[in-house]
Structure 1
Amino acid sequence: MRGADLARAALEAARASAKERGARGVRKGGAAPAGRRRRRRWSGPGPDDRDPQPLGRLAARIAADRGWAERLAGGQVFARWGKLVGEDVAEHAQPVAFSDGELTVQADSTAWATQLRLLQRDLLKRIAAGVGNGVVKTLKVQGPAAPSWRYGPRHVPGRGPRDTYG
């Protein structure tokens, strides 16, 4: 068998299988018998599952079903950092990492790192008010990163460059 004959044989096998299971065939006339007429269900004036859903609600449902809520809340901290902590703090400190409720923030100077450590409780309250309570549990503040003196493929162990100008 080839082509159309093979398709006809597959269709006949499917119809025979459906008939054995007791499934009804598809009607071509479109009208159901008078005794088994189905009523059409309208959604009515109230909201219904069949109504169109806003995209945000669907995305929130998918995130909740797949367990992405904590990661998305952590992403909100990064996206809304300036609004959450204030523009003056955001100008001198940036979030670097977020994992298991711990937010790591890097300050651009040691003075700002000290200031952030003093403001830690207030910053945690602001973040909780903006993103949600319990998302960020602890705040780890880092000072500025020192420049790396390792350049090239080879390196000699030691303390790095020192004051050689005097």
Structure 2
Amino acid sequence: MFGPDGNYPQLRGSDLAKAALQAAKDAAATAGPRRSPQVKRGFGTSRRRRRWSGAQPDERDPQPLGRLASRIATERGWGGQLATGQLFGKWSAIVGADVAEHAQPVSLREGELTVQAASTAWATQLRLLQRQLLAKIAAGVGNGVVTTLKVHGPSAPSWRHGTRHVSGRGPRDTYG
């Protein structure tokens, strides 16, 4: 079938396929006996006996969603933002309903929690209860999230309206 120079003669169709098959068989016969590789089936399992996880936990077992979410949060460094969200979301459960009714968290920056009180009396009361509130917050969201507590009283009404402002005595001269 082959010419003396090892090239294929001018074959067409099925004759060309037969010649290629014969060349492959000859090459396999000269290479010697070979072991056939194991065929993988399914999800990477071979013909060998499968190992079942049994009653013990295994990495192949389904994982609870909460465990996966907490692992992703720690891997990506979202712990601080999640603690802040938890503090603001569960404020009334952490500090108690009576305190939450009269004070709201405003911001949390670098461990300093700013709280807005409804009245000056409540602002004074929160300053006196500062240690107890910090202990409740640490128990609720974790140690080190809030290190200091800054309490603001109610804000006075602003007389500024618009983007422009003239410095001076302000609205006192309009009441005279």
Query: Under a length normalisation based on structure 1, what TM-score does the superposition of the two structures give?
Result: 0.73
Query: Under a length normalisation based on structure 2, what TM-score does the superposition of the two structures give?
Result: 0.69
Say if 2:138 and 2:145, in contact at 8 Å, map to a contact too.
yes
1:82 to 74, 84, 92: 92
1:46 to 51, 56, 62: 56
Matches of 1:156 and 1:75, distance apart in 2: 40
Deviation at 1:163, TM superposition (A): 8.2
1:92 aligns with 2:134: no
Residue type matched to 2:58 in 1? D
Deviation at 1:42, TM superposition (A): 1.4
**Alpha-carbon displacement from aligned partner over 1:86-114 (angstroms, at most 9, x marks no partner):** 11111111000012111111111111111
Deviation at 1:162, TM superposition (A): 3.1
Structure number with bigger Rg: 2
State, as a whole percentage, how many aligned pairs show the same letter: 73
Number of residues of Structure 1 aligned to a counterpart in Structure 2? 137
Structure 1 alignment gaps of length 5 or more:
1-24, 31-35
Structure 2 alignment gaps of length 5 or more:
1-36
What value does the CA root-mean-square deviation take over the aligned residues? 2.5
Say if 2:38 and 2:47, in contact at 8 Å, map to a contact too.
no
Deviation at 1:165, TM superposition (A): 5.3
Deviation at 1:120, TM superposition (A): 0.2
1:147 aligns with 2:157: yes
Query: Which structure has the higher relative contact order (CA within 8 Å, separation 6+)?
Result: 1
Residue type matched to 1:113 in 2? A
